[in-house]
């Protein structure tokens, strides 16, 4: 009945086109705008829930039928969102309250994909979107063609553990064999997505994404460049040291001074994290004094569920309520053996209230221990803002959502591990450098990759990179920002961007770059609230009431206020700033500069 009333309300609000001889239709009143927004919120919430349930089933039971079900739900949501956004343009120019004006804009920008008005194109776009996700998630490398196939998990374990360059190269190229069939689909996807964005008055889909940040699209691009320049010297120092150490391991014929690093040697399928080559780049004395979280977890017999329990306990120590029983009943924690699932870690808010879940094929290691905290950060954020109106049930911007769990994970210090019984005693002080290096190999190494993915897509959506140059443009950006290169010649028969989940899944990626900046801003501010004294990297806010209250208050704001206001609520500033990140890594940066004195840096 509620849905029927919503549709009726929307129909009543449709403005008739005046005809000759009739008086002009009067401008809509604020009361009419309020009724439109209320009805739209109610309808969109129902469609969001329907789409979320369909997507959950598709990603947990991947087959043709679930793909079609998810595609239809997404198609319906895109179509109605586009229709409501176009209806909302009738109110342009009216003097409206803050909330009405903000919500009208949010209706237009509530999805990362806008559907064209043509129903056949809507259906085609939704189908391509579902198909690309399934192609990625079911992708396997079958070297012999005899059924002995390797999944992304298999190949990633090789990338992490092997020091045999032949094995590494096969794993690297093997995973990229899954993406060339996506190439044509992705070109059409971009074409249709652009058409939908342009019907909403945007230049292209990339401009629509950049318009989501309470600033003009061009200002947002400039903001990312400003932040990157701020932290770039630290990345360059890390790159220089890592390249020199890899040359020691593999020889300077393979790892050349002054040139980009071959991407298959960095321990990760996309060279976005270098944590798995820690043993190659850290002084053995420092490495020996560091805390090996992976070994601790395995020695203690920690299970997948235990990992999540530790994450939940951190949030409850800050004053958050425990997760609901349904979370434990409905989440996916381990990879099933009887079906295909999307193993890429994700957090879900199925009903936009309390049906919270994570979907993750957890492995017992330090990386996944951190990832669990990251995903739970989404869940606790989702529940904190469920008191808001539907359109405000989101983060201040998507970098906030990605940064909250990582902020908490920065407090996984040796002191914290002792408090929760995972570590018996604190290591010697020399271990600090090793721990900072671990964080740098994960977080600093990621920064330029966090820029590349959307830089590439923005160029694709704008037409600056045509389909005939997809792969060349990808590697130009990888070299420019990351200083990495492909280990073998790549051509336009390849589609290497498609080998990264977020491209076929159409997930905007600049959020992850901003999250790397924001988590250190949040961490510093919360440590100040906790009255911590000492080096920033040694601070843990575990079980601190003052820090917990500050965090809870900000999360409860959701998207009800522009992100600078949300940032101010925690950090006392309205400006994103890489200064806290530089403060955190200052001792390591100084050490890296000493190591690099006589080396050729840059590329």
Q: Give the catalytic positions in this structure.
A: 375, 502
Q: Is 59 annotated as a binding residue?
A: no
Q: Taking the C-alpha atoms of 508, 513, 516 and 519 in order, what is their torsion angle to the nearest 10 degrees?
A: -50
Give the residues across from 484 on adjacent strands: 261
Q: Is 163 helix (H, G, I), strand (E, B) or coil?
A: coil
d(CA 87, CA 385): 27
d(CA 86, CA 390): 19
Q: Is 378 annotated as a binding residue?
A: yes
Among candidate residues 6, 128, 136, 5, the one with its CA nearest the CA of residue 75: 128
Q: Is 397 annotated as a binding residue?
A: no
d(CA 495, CA 181): 8
Largest Cα separation within the chain, whole Å, is: 89
420 backbone φψ class: left, alpha, beta (φ>0; ψ -120 to 50): alpha
d(CA 520, CA 490): 37
CB distance 83 to 107 below 8 Å: no
515 to each of 17, 229, 547, 576, how far by Cα in Å? 47, 16, 19, 10
- What is the C-alpha end-to-end distance of the chain, expressed in Å? 64
Residue at token pair 């990339």: 206
Residue 304: in which H helix or E strand, if any?
helix 304-317
Count H helices, E strands: the chain?
Answer: 26, 4
Residue at token pair 């043993």: 279
Residue at token pair 């849905």: 3
Residue 356: in which H helix or E strand, if any?
strand 356-359
Q: Is 374 annotated as a binding residue?
A: yes
**How far is CA 544 from its chain centroid?**
27
Q: Is 349 helix (H, G, I), strand (E, B) or coil?
A: strand
What string of DSSP letters covers 496-523? GGGGSTTTTTT---HHHHHHHHHHHHHH
**How far is CA 147 from its chain centroid?**
33
CB distance 479 to 486 below 8 Å: no
Among candidate residues 187, 118, 179, the one with its CA nearest the CA of residue 461: 187
User: Residues annotated in the binding site, as ranges?
Assistant: 213, 374, 378, 402, 511
Annotated binding site for Zn(2+): 374, 378, 402
- In the annotated binding site for chloride, the residues are 213, 511
């Amino acid at each position: 009945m509620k849905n029927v009333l919503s549709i009726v309300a929307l129909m009543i609000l449709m403005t008739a086109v005046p005809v000759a001889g009739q008086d002009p239709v009067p401008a809509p009143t604020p009361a009419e705008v309020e009724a439109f927004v209320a009805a739209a919120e109610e309808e969109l919430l129902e469609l969001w829930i329907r789409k979320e349930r369909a997507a959950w089933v598709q990603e947990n039971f991947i087959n043709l039928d679930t793909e079609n079900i998810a595609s239809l739900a997404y198609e319906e949501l895109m179509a109605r969102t586009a229709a409501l956004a176009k209806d909302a343009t009738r109110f342009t120019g009216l003097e409206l309250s803050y909330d009405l004006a903000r919500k009208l804009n949010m209706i237009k920008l509530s999805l990362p994909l806008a559907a064209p008005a043509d129903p056949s194109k809507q259906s085609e776009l939704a189908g391509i979107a579902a198909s690309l996700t399934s192609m990625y998630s079911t992708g396997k490398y079958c070297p012999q063609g005899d059924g002995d196939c390797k999944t992304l998990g298999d190949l990633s374990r090789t990338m992490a553990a092997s020091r045999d360059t032949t094995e590494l190269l096969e794993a690297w190229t093997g995973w990229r064999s899954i993406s060339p069939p996506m190439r044509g689909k992705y070109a059409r996807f971009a074409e249709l997505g652009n058409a939908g964005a342009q019907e909403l008055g945007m230049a292209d889909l990339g401009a629509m994404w950049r318009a989501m940040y309470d600033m003009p699209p061009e200002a947002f691009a400039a903001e990312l460049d400003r932040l990157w320049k701020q932290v770039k010297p630290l990345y360059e120092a890390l790159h220089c040291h890592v390249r020199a150490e890899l040359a020691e391991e593999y020889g300077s014929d393979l790892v050349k001074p002054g040139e980009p690093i071959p991407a298959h040697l960095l321990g990760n399928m996309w060279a976005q994290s270098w944590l798995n080559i820690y043993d190659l780049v850290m002084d053995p004395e420092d490495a020996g004094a560091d805390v090996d979280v992976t070994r601790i977890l395995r020695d203690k017999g920690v299970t997948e569920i235990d990992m999540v329990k530790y994450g939940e306990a951190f949030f409850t120590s800050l004053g958050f309520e425990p997760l609901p029983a349904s979370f434990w009943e409905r989440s996916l924690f381990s990879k099933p053996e009887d079906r295909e699932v999307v193993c890429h870690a994700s957090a879900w808010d199925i009903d936009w209230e309390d049906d919270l879940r994570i979907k993750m094929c957890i492995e017992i290691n330090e990386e996944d221990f951190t990832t669990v905290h990251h995903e739970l950060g989404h869940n606790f954020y989702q529940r904190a803002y469920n008191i808001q109106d539907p359109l405000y049930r989101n983060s201040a911007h998507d970098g906030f959502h990605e940064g909250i769990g990582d902020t908490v994970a920065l407090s996984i210090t040796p002191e914290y591990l002792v408090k929760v019984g995972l570590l018996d005693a604190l290591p010697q002080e020399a271990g600090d450098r090793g721990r900072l290096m671990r964080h740098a190999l994960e977080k600093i190494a990621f920064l330029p990759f966090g820029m590349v993915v959307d830089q590439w897509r923005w160029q694709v959506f704008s037409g600056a990179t045509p389909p005939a140059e997809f792969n060349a443009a990808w590697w130009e950006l990888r070299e420019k920002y990351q200083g990495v290169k492909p280990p073998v010649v790549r051509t336009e028969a390849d589609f290497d961007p498609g080998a990264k989940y977020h491209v076929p899944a159409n997930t905007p990626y600049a959020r992850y770059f901003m999250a790397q900046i924001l988590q250190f801003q949040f961490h510093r501010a919360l440590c100040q609230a906790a009255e911590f004294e000492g080096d920033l990297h040694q601070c843990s806010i575990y079980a601190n009431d003052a820090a917990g209250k500050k965090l809870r208050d900000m999360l409860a704001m959701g998207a009800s206020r522009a992100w600078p206001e949300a940032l101010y609520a925690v950090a006392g500033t309205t400006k994103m700033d890489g200064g806290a990140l530089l403060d955190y890594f200052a001792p390591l940066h100084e050490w890296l500069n000493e190591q690099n004195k006589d080396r050729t840096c840059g590329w």
